[in-house]
Amino acid sequence: MNQGRAQEGAAEQAHAAPSGARHPGLFETRATGIILVIVLLLLWEASVRFGVINSVNWPAFSAVVRALFAGVVSGELPTVLVSTLWSMFRGFALGCAIAVPLGFAIALFEPARWLLQPSLELLRPIPIPAIIPPLIFLLGIGDGLKLFSVAFATLFPVALNTISGVLAVDTVYRQVARTFGVTRLTALRHVVFPASLPFILAGLRTSLAIALVVTVVTEMIVGQEGIGYYLMTMQYALRAADMYAAVIILAVAAYLINRAFLAWEAHVIRWARLRESAGGDAW
């Protein structure tokens, strides 16, 4: 009897433990990450001030901050950043507009799967820098090249996540829709698409970072404007402080874009977050 009561008490404690309040540890807070960044920047400054690194290619962080401030005030850095983001978002939108319908077609129609998925898997591993030289012959060095490169890189994560999301939709949902006489198109819009939306948004978030990287790399190779072209120009001019200032403003922009997307994603699929917090059994 006592052993049974002891086991029941242990089980109750095990179930109660996760629901109890737990204070975050030293290395589990966002403030710790901010402190780490500040420490690294101070070490950067100290490495130059105390002569640990003596190179024209490694300026003091204070010099980079001055170059960043001057570039922002003059409008030079915002101009090149906006040019890059404009190219990125256009290519990203184009790639997503192709990828989502393509993913649905491959997931829902077996002929499309047999026809298109081998090509998708064949082209997916090709790195973007490898296809830029032949694209120059076909598209020149204008916006068409950048748009195609970004759309090409964006397409695969979104399409593959869309395929996974559609295939992961519970068949019960489709059967219920069929039982109530819902048309295939209506079921696709109101059942399949919402159920697969968390997968699609995960692909969009991944592709968003890829789109920015590909845009900058393309501008470095063939660009005549944008922050990638600016970085190469500053490198050739031996203006290291301006080059690092451009890297910093690019990193800040990427962080803000990611945070904005996460906030939008949380709003769009709030129901999925509620389902996760409920353990998935109440839905």
Query: What pLDDT was estimated at residue 5?
Result: 47
Query: What pLDDT was estimated at residue 17?
Result: 44
Query: What pLDDT was estimated at residue 25?
Result: 55
User: In this predicted model, which residue has the larger pLDDT, 27 or 251?
Assistant: 251
pLDDT higher than threshold 80 for residue 215:
yes
Instruction: Calculate what percentage of the chain has a pLDDT beyond 90.
Output: 49
pLDDT higher than threshold 60 for residue 120:
yes
Least confident of 71-80, 110-119, 147-156: 110-119
pLDDT higher than threshold 80 for residue 95:
yes
Distance, in Å, from the CA atom of 157 to the CA atom of 273, rounded to the nearest integer, reads 22
Q: Mean pLDDT over residues 122-148, rounded?
A: 86
Which of 108-112, 157-161, 175-179 reaches the highest mean pLDDT?
Answer: 157-161
User: In this predicted model, which residue has the larger pLDDT, 81 or 273?
Assistant: 81
Q: Which domains does the chain have, with CATH numbers?
A: 75-268 (1.10.3720.10)
Assign 274 a pLDDT band (cuts: 50, 70, 90).
low
Distance, in Å, from the CA atom of 202 to the CA atom of 9, rounded to the nearest integer, reads 41
Assign 192 a pLDDT band (cuts: 50, 70, 90).
confident
Distance, in Å, from the CA atom of 209 to the CA atom of 218, rounded to the nearest integer, reads 14
| Model pLDDT for residues 226-251, shown as the tens digit of each residue | 999 999 999 999 999 999 999 999 99
Least confident of 77-81, 102-106, 183-187: 183-187
Which among 205, 204, 217, 206 has a CA at the least distance from the CA of 131? 217
Assign 129 a pLDDT band (cuts: 50, 70, 90).
confident
Q: What is the DSSP letter of 225?
A: S
Q: Mean pLDDT over residues 205-217, rounded?
A: 94
SS (H, E, C) 53-75: CCCCCCCCHHHHHHHHHHHHHHC
Instruction: Calculate what percentage of the chain has a pLDDT beyond 70.
Output: 84
Is the CB of residue 116 less than 8 Å from the CB of residue 102? yes
pTM attached to this predicted model:
0.81
Tell me, what amino acid is at 47?
S
pLDDT higher than threshold 70 for residue 18:
no
| Model pLDDT for residues 251-272, shown as the tens digit of each residue | 999 999 999 999 999 888 776 5
> Angle CA(37)–CA(41)–CA(43) in degrees, nearest 5?
115
User: In this predicted model, which residue has the larger pLDDT, 175 or 276?
Assistant: 175
Other Cβ atoms within 10 Å of 164 Cβ, number:
16
Q: Mean pLDDT over residues 24-32, rounded?
A: 63
Biggest alpha carbon–alpha carbon distance for the chain: 84
| Model pLDDT for residues 39-53, shown as the tens digit of each residue | 999 999 999 988 888
